[in-house]
Chain A
Amino acid sequence: MDRLNALARKLPTWVVYLSGAVPFGLLVYSAFFGGLGADPVKTLELELGEWGLRFLIASLAITPLMRVGLRLLKFRRALGLLGFGYILMHFTTWIVLDLGLRWGQIGAELVKRPFIIVGFAAFVLLVPLAMTSWNGAIRRMGAAGWKKLHKLAYPAIFLGAVHFVMIGKVYSVDSILYLALTLALLGLRLLPARRPQRRTA
Protein backbone atom coordinates (compact mmCIF):
# COMPACT_ATOMS: atom_id res chain seq x y z
CA MET A 1 0.00 0.00 0.00
CA ASP A 2 2.73 2.43 0.92
CA ARG A 3 4.58 1.61 -2.26
CA LEU A 4 1.39 2.30 -4.23
CA ASN A 5 0.97 5.61 -2.45
CA ALA A 6 4.58 6.51 -3.15
CA LEU A 7 4.06 5.67 -6.79
CA ALA A 8 0.88 7.77 -6.91
CA ARG A 9 2.77 10.67 -5.34
CA LYS A 10 5.35 10.57 -8.09
CA LEU A 11 2.87 10.20 -10.93
CA PRO A 12 1.98 13.59 -12.39
CA THR A 13 -1.72 14.20 -13.05
CA TRP A 14 -1.13 15.05 -16.69
CA VAL A 15 -0.40 11.36 -17.21
CA VAL A 16 -3.98 10.60 -16.13
CA TYR A 17 -5.40 13.31 -18.38
CA LEU A 18 -3.38 12.08 -21.31
CA SER A 19 -4.11 8.39 -20.91
CA GLY A 20 -7.76 9.22 -20.22
CA ALA A 21 -7.94 10.92 -23.59
CA VAL A 22 -6.59 7.87 -25.41
CA PRO A 23 -10.01 6.12 -25.78
CA PHE A 24 -11.42 9.35 -27.19
CA GLY A 25 -8.64 9.54 -29.74
CA LEU A 26 -9.15 5.93 -30.74
CA LEU A 27 -12.90 6.41 -31.07
CA VAL A 28 -12.57 9.48 -33.24
CA TYR A 29 -9.97 7.74 -35.37
CA SER A 30 -12.23 4.67 -35.80
CA ALA A 31 -15.24 6.86 -36.50
CA PHE A 32 -13.50 8.39 -39.48
CA PHE A 33 -11.46 5.46 -40.71
CA GLY A 34 -13.82 2.56 -40.05
CA GLY A 35 -13.95 0.10 -37.21
CA LEU A 36 -17.12 1.23 -35.49
CA GLY A 37 -19.29 -1.12 -37.54
CA ALA A 38 -22.26 -0.51 -39.78
CA ASP A 39 -23.67 2.17 -37.47
CA PRO A 40 -20.71 4.31 -36.37
CA VAL A 41 -22.93 7.01 -34.90
CA LYS A 42 -24.61 4.70 -32.42
CA THR A 43 -21.34 3.01 -31.48
CA LEU A 44 -19.64 6.37 -30.94
CA GLU A 45 -22.54 7.66 -28.86
CA LEU A 46 -22.65 4.55 -26.67
CA GLU A 47 -18.88 4.32 -26.21
CA LEU A 48 -18.54 7.99 -25.27
CA GLY A 49 -21.32 7.63 -22.72
CA GLU A 50 -19.88 4.46 -21.28
CA TRP A 51 -16.37 5.91 -20.96
CA GLY A 52 -17.84 8.96 -19.29
CA LEU A 53 -19.60 6.76 -16.77
CA ARG A 54 -16.42 4.76 -16.16
CA PHE A 55 -14.38 7.87 -15.30
CA LEU A 56 -17.14 9.29 -13.13
CA ILE A 57 -17.49 6.02 -11.21
CA ALA A 58 -13.71 5.93 -10.83
CA SER A 59 -13.84 9.42 -9.33
CA LEU A 60 -16.44 8.13 -6.91
CA ALA A 61 -14.03 5.40 -5.78
CA ILE A 62 -11.34 7.81 -4.54
CA THR A 63 -12.86 8.46 -1.12
CA PRO A 64 -13.68 4.84 -0.26
CA LEU A 65 -10.16 3.89 -1.32
CA MET A 66 -8.76 6.43 1.13
CA ARG A 67 -10.41 4.44 3.89
CA VAL A 68 -8.32 1.47 3.04
CA GLY A 69 -5.25 3.66 2.92
CA LEU A 70 -4.87 4.29 -0.80
CA ARG A 71 -4.38 8.00 -1.33
CA LEU A 72 -5.32 8.98 -4.87
CA LEU A 73 -7.05 12.26 -4.09
CA LYS A 74 -4.86 14.25 -6.43
CA PHE A 75 -6.30 12.36 -9.40
CA ARG A 76 -9.95 12.92 -8.54
CA ARG A 77 -10.31 16.17 -10.44
CA ALA A 78 -8.72 14.61 -13.53
CA LEU A 79 -11.12 11.66 -13.38
CA GLY A 80 -14.13 13.91 -12.89
CA LEU A 81 -13.17 16.24 -15.71
CA LEU A 82 -12.42 13.34 -18.04
CA GLY A 83 -15.82 11.90 -17.21
CA PHE A 84 -17.48 15.24 -17.88
CA GLY A 85 -15.59 15.61 -21.15
CA TYR A 86 -16.79 12.25 -22.39
CA ILE A 87 -20.37 12.97 -21.32
CA LEU A 88 -20.22 16.33 -23.09
CA MET A 89 -19.06 14.59 -26.29
CA HIS A 90 -21.73 11.91 -25.78
CA PHE A 91 -24.41 14.60 -25.54
CA THR A 92 -22.98 16.47 -28.53
CA THR A 93 -22.92 13.27 -30.58
CA TRP A 94 -26.56 12.69 -29.72
CA ILE A 95 -27.59 16.20 -30.78
CA VAL A 96 -25.46 16.57 -33.89
CA LEU A 97 -24.90 13.09 -35.31
CA ASP A 98 -27.79 11.02 -33.93
CA LEU A 99 -30.64 13.54 -33.98
CA GLY A 100 -29.03 15.44 -36.86
CA LEU A 101 -29.76 18.84 -35.28
CA ARG A 102 -33.52 18.31 -35.61
CA TRP A 103 -34.22 20.83 -32.86
CA GLY A 104 -37.94 20.13 -32.77
CA GLN A 105 -37.36 16.46 -32.10
CA ILE A 106 -34.47 17.18 -29.71
CA GLY A 107 -36.71 19.46 -27.67
CA ALA A 108 -39.53 16.93 -27.65
CA GLU A 109 -37.20 14.10 -26.58
CA LEU A 110 -35.75 16.20 -23.77
CA VAL A 111 -39.15 16.68 -22.18
CA LYS A 112 -40.93 13.45 -23.17
CA ARG A 113 -38.53 10.53 -22.76
CA PRO A 114 -37.77 9.43 -19.22
CA PHE A 115 -34.35 7.99 -20.03
CA ILE A 116 -33.33 11.12 -21.89
CA ILE A 117 -34.65 13.36 -19.12
CA VAL A 118 -32.66 11.35 -16.58
CA GLY A 119 -29.50 11.47 -18.68
CA PHE A 120 -29.89 15.17 -19.39
CA ALA A 121 -30.46 15.89 -15.70
CA ALA A 122 -27.23 14.07 -14.90
CA PHE A 123 -25.41 16.18 -17.47
CA VAL A 124 -26.88 19.44 -16.17
CA LEU A 125 -25.82 18.57 -12.62
CA LEU A 126 -22.27 17.97 -13.82
CA VAL A 127 -21.92 21.37 -15.51
CA PRO A 128 -21.45 23.50 -12.37
CA LEU A 129 -18.99 20.92 -11.05
CA ALA A 130 -16.88 21.13 -14.18
CA MET A 131 -17.06 24.94 -14.09
CA THR A 132 -15.81 25.09 -10.52
CA SER A 133 -13.10 22.51 -10.93
CA TRP A 134 -10.16 24.94 -10.74
CA ASN A 135 -8.28 25.98 -7.65
CA GLY A 136 -9.48 29.58 -7.89
CA ALA A 137 -13.09 28.45 -7.63
CA ILE A 138 -12.38 26.63 -4.39
CA ARG A 139 -10.76 29.74 -2.97
CA ARG A 140 -13.59 32.02 -4.07
CA MET A 141 -16.36 29.73 -2.90
CA GLY A 142 -14.65 28.67 0.26
CA ALA A 143 -13.82 25.03 0.84
CA ALA A 144 -17.08 24.28 2.66
CA GLY A 145 -19.31 25.75 -0.04
CA TRP A 146 -17.30 24.10 -2.76
CA LYS A 147 -17.52 20.74 -1.04
CA LYS A 148 -21.24 21.14 -0.63
CA LEU A 149 -21.72 21.98 -4.30
CA HIS A 150 -19.63 19.03 -5.35
CA LYS A 151 -21.90 16.67 -3.48
CA LEU A 152 -23.97 17.05 -6.67
CA ALA A 153 -21.63 14.45 -8.12
CA TYR A 154 -23.56 11.78 -6.19
CA PRO A 155 -26.98 12.35 -7.76
CA ALA A 156 -25.37 13.12 -11.12
CA ILE A 157 -23.47 9.86 -11.34
CA PHE A 158 -26.40 7.91 -9.96
CA LEU A 159 -28.69 9.40 -12.63
CA GLY A 160 -26.09 8.70 -15.30
CA ALA A 161 -25.97 5.03 -14.32
CA VAL A 162 -29.79 4.84 -14.24
CA HIS A 163 -29.91 6.46 -17.69
CA PHE A 164 -27.64 3.72 -19.03
CA VAL A 165 -29.86 0.99 -17.55
CA MET A 166 -32.98 2.53 -19.12
CA ILE A 167 -31.64 2.49 -22.69
CA GLY A 168 -32.49 -0.18 -25.17
CA LYS A 169 -35.00 -2.92 -25.67
CA VAL A 170 -33.52 -5.15 -22.98
CA TYR A 171 -31.54 -4.49 -19.82
CA SER A 172 -27.88 -5.07 -20.51
CA VAL A 173 -25.73 -6.84 -17.96
CA ASP A 174 -23.05 -4.15 -18.28
CA SER A 175 -25.39 -1.33 -17.43
CA ILE A 176 -26.69 -3.14 -14.36
CA LEU A 177 -23.12 -3.75 -13.17
CA TYR A 178 -22.31 -0.04 -13.51
CA LEU A 179 -25.41 0.86 -11.52
CA ALA A 180 -24.59 -1.70 -8.84
CA LEU A 181 -21.04 -0.35 -8.57
CA THR A 182 -22.32 3.21 -8.34
CA LEU A 183 -24.78 2.28 -5.60
CA ALA A 184 -22.07 0.40 -3.73
CA LEU A 185 -19.66 3.35 -3.88
CA LEU A 186 -22.40 5.73 -2.76
CA GLY A 187 -23.48 3.33 -0.05
CA LEU A 188 -19.97 3.14 1.38
CA ARG A 189 -20.24 6.84 2.16
CA LEU A 190 -23.08 6.11 4.54
CA LEU A 191 -20.82 4.00 6.73
CA PRO A 192 -19.76 5.90 9.83
CA ALA A 193 -16.51 7.73 9.23
CA ARG A 194 -13.57 6.25 11.07
CA ARG A 195 -10.88 8.40 12.46
CA PRO A 196 -7.94 8.07 10.11
CA GLN A 197 -5.50 5.61 11.62
CA ARG A 198 -2.05 6.82 12.16
CA ARG A 199 0.42 4.66 10.35
CA THR A 200 4.03 4.35 11.15
CA ALA A 201 6.28 3.75 8.23
Chain B
Amino acid sequence: MPFKSDLRWSEVTPKSLFFNRRQIMAGAAGALVSPILAGRAAAAGFSTDEAPNTLEEISTYNNYYEFGYSKEEPSTKAQALTIDPWSVEIGGMVDKPGTYDLSDVLAGMTIEERIYRFRCVEAWSMVIPWQGFELSGLLNKVGVQPSAKFVAFETLYRPEEMPGQQGGSFPYPYVEGVRLDEAMNPLTILATGLYDEELPKQNGAPLRLVVPWKYGFKSIKAIVKITLTDVMPPTTWNILAANEYGFYANVNPGVDHPRWSQASERPIGGGLFAGRKDTVLFNGYGEQVASLYAGQDLTVDY
Protein backbone atom coordinates (compact mmCIF):
# COMPACT_ATOMS: atom_id res chain seq x y z
CA MET B 1 0.00 0.00 0.00
CA PRO B 2 1.72 3.20 -1.13
CA PHE B 3 1.96 6.04 1.31
CA LYS B 4 -0.77 8.55 0.65
CA SER B 5 -0.47 11.94 2.20
CA ASP B 6 -3.59 13.73 3.28
CA LEU B 7 -1.80 17.04 3.05
CA ARG B 8 -3.16 19.41 0.44
CA TRP B 9 -0.79 20.72 -2.21
CA SER B 10 -1.55 24.19 -1.03
CA GLU B 11 0.17 23.27 2.19
CA VAL B 12 3.41 22.40 0.46
CA THR B 13 4.31 26.06 0.31
CA PRO B 14 2.09 28.01 2.65
CA LYS B 15 1.18 31.48 1.53
CA SER B 16 2.68 33.19 4.54
CA LEU B 17 5.92 31.33 4.04
CA PHE B 18 6.48 32.10 0.42
CA PHE B 19 5.46 35.71 0.79
CA ASN B 20 7.84 35.93 3.73
CA ARG B 21 10.54 34.26 1.73
CA ARG B 22 10.20 36.77 -1.04
CA GLN B 23 10.19 39.64 1.42
CA ILE B 24 13.23 38.28 3.20
CA MET B 25 15.06 37.75 -0.07
CA ALA B 26 14.19 41.22 -1.29
CA GLY B 27 15.04 42.73 2.06
CA ALA B 28 18.34 40.89 2.29
CA ALA B 29 19.28 41.78 -1.24
CA GLY B 30 18.39 45.38 -0.60
CA ALA B 31 20.42 45.48 2.58
CA LEU B 32 23.50 43.82 1.18
CA VAL B 33 23.79 45.06 -2.38
CA SER B 34 22.57 47.90 -4.50
CA PRO B 35 19.05 47.74 -5.95
CA ILE B 36 20.53 47.29 -9.43
CA LEU B 37 22.26 44.10 -8.37
CA ALA B 38 19.10 42.88 -6.68
CA GLY B 39 17.23 43.35 -9.94
CA ARG B 40 19.80 41.33 -11.81
CA ALA B 41 19.64 38.57 -9.25
CA ALA B 42 15.87 38.29 -9.75
CA ALA B 43 16.25 38.13 -13.53
CA ALA B 44 18.81 35.33 -13.25
CA GLY B 45 16.25 33.04 -11.58
CA PHE B 46 13.54 31.13 -13.39
CA SER B 47 10.72 33.46 -12.41
CA THR B 48 9.94 36.70 -14.17
CA ASP B 49 9.50 39.81 -12.07
CA GLU B 50 6.57 40.90 -14.21
CA ALA B 51 3.31 41.30 -12.31
CA PRO B 52 1.23 38.11 -12.49
CA ASN B 53 -2.35 38.05 -13.68
CA THR B 54 -5.02 37.68 -11.04
CA LEU B 55 -6.25 34.24 -10.04
CA GLU B 56 -9.64 35.29 -11.39
CA GLU B 57 -8.20 36.03 -14.84
CA ILE B 58 -6.10 32.89 -14.92
CA SER B 59 -8.97 30.67 -13.85
CA THR B 60 -11.80 32.12 -15.98
CA TYR B 61 -10.01 32.41 -19.32
CA ASN B 62 -9.05 28.91 -20.38
CA ASN B 63 -8.74 26.90 -23.54
CA TYR B 64 -9.78 23.44 -22.38
CA TYR B 65 -11.99 21.99 -25.09
CA GLU B 66 -12.84 18.93 -22.98
CA PHE B 67 -15.10 21.38 -21.14
CA GLY B 68 -16.34 23.46 -24.05
CA TYR B 69 -14.99 25.71 -26.79
CA SER B 70 -15.50 29.03 -25.00
CA LYS B 71 -12.95 30.56 -22.65
CA GLU B 72 -15.43 30.74 -19.77
CA GLU B 73 -17.04 27.28 -19.89
CA PRO B 74 -14.14 25.33 -18.32
CA SER B 75 -14.31 27.42 -15.15
CA THR B 76 -17.77 26.03 -14.40
CA LYS B 77 -17.92 22.73 -16.28
CA ALA B 78 -14.59 21.42 -15.00
CA GLN B 79 -15.73 21.52 -11.40
CA ALA B 80 -17.44 18.13 -11.70
CA LEU B 81 -14.15 16.43 -12.63
CA THR B 82 -12.90 13.86 -10.14
CA ILE B 83 -9.19 14.42 -9.53
CA ASP B 84 -8.78 12.30 -6.42
CA PRO B 85 -7.87 9.46 -6.77
CA TRP B 86 -5.47 10.19 -9.63
CA SER B 87 -2.79 8.06 -11.12
CA VAL B 88 -0.29 8.50 -13.92
CA GLU B 89 0.84 5.66 -16.13
CA ILE B 90 4.54 6.09 -16.84
CA GLY B 91 5.94 3.78 -19.45
CA GLY B 92 7.94 3.23 -22.59
CA MET B 93 11.70 3.53 -22.36
CA VAL B 94 11.96 3.90 -18.62
CA ASP B 95 13.60 1.75 -15.97
CA LYS B 96 10.67 1.79 -13.59
CA PRO B 97 7.47 1.72 -15.63
CA GLY B 98 4.18 1.49 -13.83
CA THR B 99 0.99 3.17 -12.77
CA TYR B 100 1.92 5.70 -10.12
CA ASP B 101 -0.49 7.18 -7.66
CA LEU B 102 -0.26 10.98 -7.75
CA SER B 103 1.31 10.98 -4.28
CA ASP B 104 4.05 8.70 -5.61
CA VAL B 105 4.61 11.00 -8.55
CA LEU B 106 5.02 13.92 -6.17
CA ALA B 107 7.15 12.02 -3.63
CA GLY B 108 10.62 13.51 -3.45
CA MET B 109 9.80 16.36 -5.85
CA THR B 110 10.51 19.91 -4.75
CA ILE B 111 7.45 22.04 -5.32
CA GLU B 112 8.40 25.63 -5.95
CA GLU B 113 6.89 28.80 -7.31
CA ARG B 114 7.64 29.65 -10.94
CA ILE B 115 6.26 32.89 -12.28
CA TYR B 116 6.24 32.33 -16.02
CA ARG B 117 5.07 34.23 -19.04
CA PHE B 118 2.37 32.27 -20.86
CA ARG B 119 1.83 32.90 -24.56
CA CYS B 120 -1.17 31.36 -26.30
CA VAL B 121 -0.99 30.56 -30.02
CA GLU B 122 -4.08 32.79 -30.32
CA ALA B 123 -1.79 35.80 -29.66
CA TRP B 124 -2.79 36.64 -26.12
CA SER B 125 -0.59 36.28 -23.07
CA MET B 126 -0.59 36.18 -19.29
CA VAL B 127 1.90 35.98 -16.46
CA ILE B 128 1.17 33.00 -14.24
CA PRO B 129 2.58 32.13 -10.81
CA TRP B 130 2.67 28.35 -11.03
CA GLN B 131 3.52 25.94 -8.26
CA GLY B 132 5.27 22.89 -9.60
CA PHE B 133 8.36 20.78 -9.93
CA GLU B 134 10.86 20.20 -12.69
CA LEU B 135 9.84 17.44 -15.07
CA SER B 136 13.46 16.28 -15.10
CA GLY B 137 13.08 15.32 -11.45
CA LEU B 138 10.29 12.88 -12.23
CA LEU B 139 12.03 11.53 -15.32
CA ASN B 140 15.21 10.90 -13.33
CA LYS B 141 13.15 9.17 -10.65
CA VAL B 142 11.68 6.67 -13.11
CA GLY B 143 14.96 6.32 -15.00
CA VAL B 144 15.10 7.32 -18.66
CA GLN B 145 16.73 4.72 -20.89
CA PRO B 146 19.45 5.91 -23.30
CA SER B 147 17.37 5.10 -26.38
CA ALA B 148 14.57 7.52 -25.42
CA LYS B 149 14.38 10.71 -27.47
CA PHE B 150 10.89 12.09 -26.83
CA VAL B 151 8.36 12.34 -24.03
CA ALA B 152 4.70 11.83 -24.92
CA PHE B 153 1.82 12.96 -22.70
CA GLU B 154 -1.86 12.13 -22.64
CA THR B 155 -4.82 13.90 -21.03
CA LEU B 156 -7.54 12.06 -19.17
CA TYR B 157 -10.29 10.57 -21.36
CA ARG B 158 -13.48 10.50 -19.31
CA PRO B 159 -16.46 11.62 -21.39
CA GLU B 160 -18.90 11.27 -18.50
CA GLU B 161 -17.06 14.06 -16.70
CA MET B 162 -15.65 15.87 -19.72
CA PRO B 163 -18.68 16.92 -21.79
CA GLY B 164 -16.53 18.09 -24.70
CA GLN B 165 -15.45 14.48 -25.23
CA GLN B 166 -19.02 13.37 -25.86
CA GLY B 167 -19.19 13.27 -29.62
CA GLY B 168 -17.80 15.95 -31.87
CA SER B 169 -14.92 15.69 -34.27
CA PHE B 170 -12.07 16.42 -31.87
CA PRO B 171 -9.75 13.40 -31.58
CA TYR B 172 -9.66 12.72 -27.84
CA PRO B 173 -7.75 12.03 -25.71
CA TYR B 174 -5.63 15.14 -26.15
CA VAL B 175 -1.99 14.20 -26.69
CA GLU B 176 1.19 16.24 -26.62
CA GLY B 177 4.90 15.68 -26.63
CA VAL B 178 8.29 17.30 -26.32
CA ARG B 179 11.80 16.27 -27.19
CA LEU B 180 13.76 14.73 -24.30
CA ASP B 181 16.20 17.65 -24.09
CA GLU B 182 13.23 20.03 -23.92
CA ALA B 183 11.69 17.88 -21.20
CA MET B 184 14.92 17.92 -19.18
CA ASN B 185 15.35 21.69 -19.39
CA PRO B 186 14.95 23.17 -15.90
CA LEU B 187 12.27 25.58 -17.19
CA THR B 188 9.97 22.67 -17.99
CA ILE B 189 7.75 21.90 -15.02
CA LEU B 190 4.78 19.83 -14.06
CA ALA B 191 2.46 22.24 -12.28
CA THR B 192 0.32 21.30 -9.31
CA GLY B 193 -0.77 24.72 -8.12
CA LEU B 194 -1.45 28.37 -8.86
CA TYR B 195 -0.55 31.16 -6.46
CA ASP B 196 -0.69 29.29 -3.16
CA GLU B 197 -3.76 27.31 -4.13
CA GLU B 198 -4.29 23.88 -5.53
CA LEU B 199 -4.35 24.01 -9.28
CA PRO B 200 -7.92 24.90 -10.33
CA LYS B 201 -9.53 22.10 -12.32
CA GLN B 202 -9.99 24.37 -15.33
CA ASN B 203 -6.25 24.97 -15.36
CA GLY B 204 -5.44 21.28 -15.66
CA ALA B 205 -5.55 19.84 -12.15
CA PRO B 206 -4.15 17.82 -10.66
CA LEU B 207 -1.08 17.71 -12.91
CA ARG B 208 -0.24 19.67 -16.04
CA LEU B 209 2.81 20.41 -18.11
CA VAL B 210 4.18 23.96 -18.40
CA VAL B 211 6.72 24.71 -21.13
CA PRO B 212 6.94 28.50 -21.01
CA TRP B 213 8.83 29.09 -24.27
CA LYS B 214 6.23 27.22 -26.31
CA TYR B 215 2.66 28.13 -27.23
CA GLY B 216 0.20 27.25 -24.51
CA PHE B 217 -1.35 24.27 -26.28
CA LYS B 218 1.88 22.33 -25.67
CA SER B 219 1.30 22.61 -21.92
CA ILE B 220 -1.06 19.66 -21.72
CA LYS B 221 -3.53 19.42 -18.83
CA ALA B 222 -4.80 16.66 -16.53
CA ILE B 223 -2.00 14.25 -17.43
CA VAL B 224 -2.69 10.53 -16.98
CA LYS B 225 0.03 9.07 -19.15
CA ILE B 226 3.71 9.80 -19.76
CA THR B 227 5.58 7.69 -22.30
CA LEU B 228 9.26 7.81 -23.17
CA THR B 229 9.79 6.94 -26.81
CA ASP B 230 12.32 7.13 -29.62
CA VAL B 231 9.90 8.43 -32.26
CA MET B 232 8.34 11.89 -32.45
CA PRO B 233 4.92 11.40 -30.88
CA PRO B 234 1.71 12.64 -32.51
CA THR B 235 0.32 15.86 -31.03
CA THR B 236 -3.35 16.82 -31.16
CA TRP B 237 -3.25 20.23 -32.87
CA ASN B 238 -0.70 18.96 -35.34
CA ILE B 239 -3.03 16.09 -36.20
CA LEU B 240 -5.89 18.56 -36.69
CA ALA B 241 -4.02 21.12 -38.81
CA ALA B 242 -0.39 20.30 -39.54
CA ASN B 243 0.18 23.46 -41.55
CA GLU B 244 -0.95 25.63 -38.65
CA TYR B 245 0.51 23.83 -35.64
CA GLY B 246 3.90 22.19 -35.65
CA PHE B 247 5.40 19.74 -33.19
CA TYR B 248 7.79 22.32 -31.74
CA ALA B 249 5.39 25.26 -31.44
CA ASN B 250 8.08 27.51 -30.04
CA VAL B 251 6.90 31.07 -29.50
CA ASN B 252 8.31 32.87 -32.51
CA PRO B 253 7.29 36.34 -33.74
CA GLY B 254 8.95 35.58 -37.06
CA VAL B 255 6.78 32.58 -37.93
CA ASP B 256 3.16 33.59 -38.35
CA HIS B 257 0.20 31.33 -37.88
CA PRO B 258 -1.23 31.08 -41.40
CA ARG B 259 -4.36 32.88 -40.28
CA TRP B 260 -2.92 35.51 -37.95
CA SER B 261 0.30 37.25 -37.05
CA GLN B 262 2.46 36.12 -34.15
CA ALA B 263 4.48 39.34 -34.19
CA SER B 264 2.60 40.80 -31.27
CA GLU B 265 0.34 39.72 -28.44
CA ARG B 266 -2.42 41.18 -26.30
CA PRO B 267 -1.64 40.91 -22.58
CA ILE B 268 -4.78 39.80 -20.75
CA GLY B 269 -5.79 41.87 -17.75
CA GLY B 270 -4.83 45.31 -19.00
CA GLY B 271 -8.40 46.32 -19.73
CA LEU B 272 -9.83 47.87 -22.86
CA PHE B 273 -6.93 50.08 -23.85
CA ALA B 274 -3.95 47.85 -23.00
CA GLY B 275 -3.12 47.39 -26.66
CA ARG B 276 -0.39 44.98 -27.72
CA LYS B 277 3.21 44.27 -27.03
CA ASP B 278 5.84 42.73 -29.25
CA THR B 279 6.19 38.98 -28.97
CA VAL B 280 9.70 37.81 -28.12
CA LEU B 281 11.40 34.74 -29.61
CA PHE B 282 11.05 31.75 -27.27
CA ASN B 283 8.71 33.95 -25.21
CA GLY B 284 11.77 35.66 -23.77
CA TYR B 285 13.43 32.44 -22.59
CA GLY B 286 16.00 32.35 -25.37
CA GLU B 287 18.90 32.53 -22.96
CA GLN B 288 17.86 29.21 -21.45
CA VAL B 289 16.58 27.35 -24.52
CA ALA B 290 17.89 28.82 -27.78
CA SER B 291 20.83 26.40 -27.74
CA LEU B 292 18.39 23.46 -27.91
CA TYR B 293 17.59 24.44 -31.48
CA ALA B 294 21.08 25.21 -32.78
CA GLY B 295 21.25 24.18 -36.40
CA GLN B 296 17.49 23.83 -36.76
CA ASP B 297 15.52 26.00 -39.17
CA LEU B 298 12.71 27.29 -36.99
CA THR B 299 10.60 28.21 -40.00
CA VAL B 300 10.62 24.53 -40.97
CA ASP B 301 10.44 23.12 -37.44
CA TYR B 302 7.64 25.46 -36.34
Q: What residues of chain A have their CB less than 8 Å away from a CB belonging to chain B?
A: 31-32, 37-42, 44, 97-102, 105, 108-109, 112-115, 166, 169-170, 172
A39-B61 contact, Cβ under 8 Å, with A100-B276, A170-B69 = yes
Q: Are A102 and B260 in contact (CB under 8 A)?
A: no
| Chain B residues positioned under 8 Å from A44 (CB to CB) | 272
Is the pair A38, B122 in contact by a Cβ cutoff of 8 Å? no
Q: CA–CA, A169 to B276, complex, Å?
A: 21
Q: Which of B264, B271, B275 contacts A40 (CB 8 A)?
A: B271
The 6 closest A-B pairs by CB, nearest first: A100-B275, A38-B61, A38-B57, A100-B276, A38-B268, A39-B268
Interface size in chain B (residues, C-beta < 8 A): 29
- Contact indicator per residue, chain B 24-68, by CB within 8 Å of chain A (1) or not (0): 000000000000000000000000000001001100110001000
Q: Which of B189-224 contact A (CB under 8 A)?
A: none
Closest residue of chain A to B170, judged by CB?
A170
Q: List 18 A-B contacts (CB under 8 A).
A: A31-B272, A37-B60, A38-B53, A38-B57, A38-B269, A39-B71, A39-B124, A40-B271, A42-B124, A97-B273, A99-B276, A100-B264, A100-B266, A102-B264, A108-B261, A112-B256, A112-B261, A113-B259
Whether A38 and B56, one on each chain, are in contact in the complex, defined by CB atoms closer than 8 angstroms, is: yes
Instruction: Determine the distance from Cα of A102 to Cα of B266 in the docked complex, in whole angstroms.
Output: 12
Contact B69–A115 (Cβ < 8 Å): no
CB-based nearest A residue for B59? A38
How long is the Cα–Cα vector from A108 to B260 in the complex, in angstroms?
A: 10
Chain B contact surface mostly: loop
Q: Are B57 and A109 in contact (CB under 8 A)?
A: no
CB contact under 8 A between A102 and B271, given known A38-B56, A38-B61, A109-B261: no
> Which single residue of chain A is at the shortest CB-CB distance from B61?
A38
- Whether B263 sits at the interface, judged by CB under 8 Å, is yes
Beyond A38-B61, A172-B69, whether A109 also contacts B124 by CB under 8 A is no
Q: Tell me, yes or no, whether B72 is within 8 Å of chain A by CB.
A: yes
B residues bordering A, Cβ < 8 Å?
53, 56-57, 60-61, 65, 69, 71-72, 121-122, 124, 170, 237, 256, 259-261, 263-264, 266, 268-269, 271-276
Contact of A97 among B53, B170, B260, B272 (CB under 8 A): B272
* Residue among B56, B65, B275 with most chain A CB within 10 A: B275
Q: Are B263 and A105 in contact (CB under 8 A)?
A: yes
Question: Do residues A38 and B273 form an inter-chain contact, with CB atoms below 8 A?
Answer: no
- Which residue of chain B has its CB nearest to the CB of A106? B261
Beta-carbon contact of A37 and B259 below 8 Å: no
Chain B residue with the shortest CB-CB distance to A100: B275
Task: Determine the distance from Cα of A114 to Cα of B57 in the docked complex, in whole angstroms.
Answer: 31
Q: Which single residue of chain B is at the shortest CB-CB distance from A97?
A: B272
A98 nearest in chain B by CB position: B266
